[in-house]
Amino acid sequence: MAYYFSEPSHTFGEYLLVPGYSSKECIPANVDLKTPLVKFQKGEQSAITINIPMTSAIMQAVSDDNMAIALAKEGGISFIYGSQSIEAEAAMVAKVKNYKSGFVASDSNIKPTTTLAEILALKEQTGHSTMAITDDGTPTGKLVGIVTSRDYRVTRMSKNTKVEEFMTPFSKLIYADADTTLKEANDLIWEHKLNMLPLVDKDQRLKYMVFRKDYSDNKTNENELIDAKKRYMVGAGINTRDYAERVPALIAAGADALCIDSSEGFSEWQKITLEYIHKNFGSQVKVGAGNVVDKEGFLFLAEAGADFIKVGIGGGSICITREQKGIGRGQATALIDVVAARDEYFEQTGIYIPVCSDGGIVHDYHMTLALAIGADFVMLGRYFSRFDESPTDKVKINGNYLKEYWGEGSNRARNWQRYDMGGDKKLSFEEGVDSYVPYAGSLKDNVAITLSKVRSTICNCGALNLKDFKEKAKITLVSSTSIVEGSSHDVILKDKFSHE
């Protein structure tokens, strides 16, 4: 007969943290959120340590080069989605590694014949009021002018007016050579009271734009995640089919870590992939694996050579694996089981393999609970998909702004490699949905709020870093009545009357 687990599986919403003693040093500003990304020997340091315990999911709707840069600025790392061509994924990795902090490639480009109506539509879509006009409308075309919101008055101009009639022409621009350093560029911006300085090459082709507002941003990104060459760090997703071609291309592009993207990781396919990578590229190439939900799955991937292991099946907001196939496990219970296996493995072997909790995060405090249970970091899809930096379109529906968000197992993504079990090269049925999520603004602002909550809770539990937090945390299972009690109740909220 089948094996039966004696306890039901639980998710994060069924647990609460019980406060512990907090000393006067326990203030959020003192909390260190650094955490290891890849495995290490006892007494040694992890080869990669991230500054905040947040990674973005290996999804088309979440992790591209823009997301990777934005998250690296805050101290986390993105794993660029692998359900695209090898060349396209490698190009995204290269963009992150070649990105010069403070030097922005133009992404709102127009031609001299672009009309005011088209400019206003582009501004609405991107939120950018400063746009470069190039001869061919490309990001690196010959710069012929700049237009900002100060160059036109919507109420007094025809929407059909071409931008060449009201732009600031190149002859009147203050610009600098493409080799100008960031310090020199910022000095010019302050000297000439500019909001933006374009950098062009000897042929007048646009290379970068340096904005005044980014000067203060650069000063405040104290947590940014950079490598030894001061380049932003970035991860990349791979699959168990074309790894022999994809891995070399991603390594050549500069990927700092790889991760096998699969809905279920307790598989010989993952073992074969891990063994190939470590045999051909050595231990310097770091590869995460998963996903698993129990001790057996963890031990299998640990012995196969995984550098970190992801936990979670079916808990994602757009995932319907449990509904379609009836497999999975409550995220909290799965994490408890795997973390215990990790700690036991560490005691026996002296090798610490970081665990990533992937899925099941609905509220910010769920991240804190995942870390308290023992996760070294979390991987987030829906959370990051809501931000400006995600690659999906922002749409307005019934007066509300939303962002598109779809699963890798949806018909839209058709990432058959993620769900591959050695059969035909196709997605036989859906394991994800196509949806919308409420638009939430910039990544920077939202991550700051989330981490403020995390740091505050860690202080409530009497800890100042994640290692101590795991050791000091006290967690209690709550009843359905306790969950109701934890929300506002027995009051009439003021916003009920705000529209009357």
- Which residues are the active-site residues? 319, 418
The C-alpha atoms of residue 262 and residue 434 are separated, in whole angstroms, by 19
Q: Token pair for residue 144?
A: 């012929």
Cβ atoms of 357 and 378 closer than 8 Å? yes
Tokens representing residue 458 in the block: 């860690």
Instruction: Report the interhelical angle of 243-253 vs 86-98 (nearest 10°).
Output: 20
Residue 416's contacts (CB-CB under 8 Å, 6 or more residues apart) are 425, 426, 427
> With contact defined as beta carbons under 8 Å apart, do 229 and 223 qualify?
no
DSSP state of 299: H
First to last CA, the chain: 61
Picking from 214, 317, 203, 327, the residue whose alpha carbon sits closest to that of residue 263 is 327
Residue 209, classed as helix, strand or coil, is strand
What region, left, alpha or beta, does residue 360 occupy, with left being phi > 0 and alpha being psi -120 to 50 degrees?
left
> Cα–Cα distance between 79 and 262 in angstroms, integer?
13
Please, which residues have CB within 8 angstroms of residue 199's CB and are 6 or more apart in sequence?
103, 175, 176, 177, 178, 180, 185, 206, 207, 208, 209, 210
Tokens of 67: 């997301």
Vertex 280 angle, CA 279 and 282, to 5°: 70
CA geometry: angle at 484 spanning 479 and 486, to 5°? 95
Q: How far apart are the C-alpha atoms of 62 and 383, rounded to whole Å?
A: 9
Phi, psi of 297 (to 5 degrees): -65, -40
User: Which two three-digit tokens encode residue 42?
Assistant: 């006892």
Cβ proximity of 434 and 468 under 8 Å: no
Helices 268-281/243-253 angle, 10° precision: 50
For residues 187 and 212, the answer to whether their CB atoms sit within 8 Å is no
Helix and strand numbers (H, E) in the chain are 15, 24
Report DSSP state, residue 233. Answer: P
* CB distance 373 to 381 below 8 Å: no
**Can you read off the two tokens belonging to residue 415?**
């990432």
